[in-house]
Amino acid sequence: MALAMVGEALISASVEILTKRIASREFRDFFSSRKLNISVLDELMKLLALNAVLNDAEEKQITDLAVKEWLEELKDAVLDAEDLLDEINTDALRCEVEDETKTSTTKVRSMFSSSFKNFYKRMNSKLEAISGRLEHFVRQKDILGLQSVTRSLL
């Protein structure tokens, strides 16, 4: 039981960090400026719906193998989303550093280079895949009967 609570707390903390990052103005501005699909980013906000049922899932996983598997798969998806957003964030930081050292002509040329286009195309594909995975978890939470509950302190 204690180990399950730690696992749920880790997922919950990760989801909270991801949603704050997704909602940040800097991250959204970077998305828009780099032609990343902002609507897919909005889809990632589905994490909020999943976070609301984690307490219920944590309690039910003890007796329900399907819920336990759902939580384990959700943890993997959340970690994959973190990795992807870290990769995008790293690129944003790299771009900031490069922007400080380049002339305006070089900046424009580098933004349209094929390597950047391929990178952003790949990121959009990965974002769409993660969004699809999260949609799957949102549908499954309803099938599993998971509901938003608050943890009792007693």
Q: What is the pLDDT along the chain (154 residues), one digit of tens a residue?
A: 444 455 556 788 888 888 888 888 888 887 777 777 778 777 777 777 788 888 888 888 889 999 999 999 998 988 898 898 888 888 777 777 776 776 655 555 555 555 667 777 888 888 889 888 988 998 999 899 998 876 554 4
Q: What angle do CA 45, 15, 94 make, to 5 degrees?
A: 80
Give the residue among 91, 85, 97, 92 at the shortest CA–CA distance from 130.
85
114 domain residue, yes or no? yes
* Secondary structure (3-state) at 61: coil
Q: Is residue 150 part of a domain?
A: no
For residues 130 and 44, is the Cβ–Cβ distance under 8 A? yes
DSSP state of 152: P
| Angle, helix 2-23 to helix 65-101, in steps of 10 degrees | 40
Q: At 83, give phi and psi (nearest 5°).
A: -60, -45
Q: What's the number of CA atoms in the CB half-sphere (13 Å) around residue 140?
A: 17
Q: Which domain holds residue 136?
A: 2-143
Domain annotation covers residue 132: yes
Q: Is residue 148 part of a domain?
A: no
Q: What is the spatial distance between Cα 66 and Cα 128, in angstroms, rounded to a whole number?
A: 25
Please report whether residue 8 resides in a domain. Answer: yes
52 φ/ψ angles, rounded to the nearest 5 degrees: -65, -25
Contact yes or no for 48/41 (Cβ under 8 A) = no
Tokens representing 90? 């790293």
The answer to whether residue 151 is domain-embedded is: no
Look at residue 1 in the predicted model and tell me its pLDDT: 45
Cα 86 to Cα 24, 92, 113, distances in angstroms? 14, 10, 22
Our count of domains for the chain comes to 1
- Res 73: pLDDT: 92
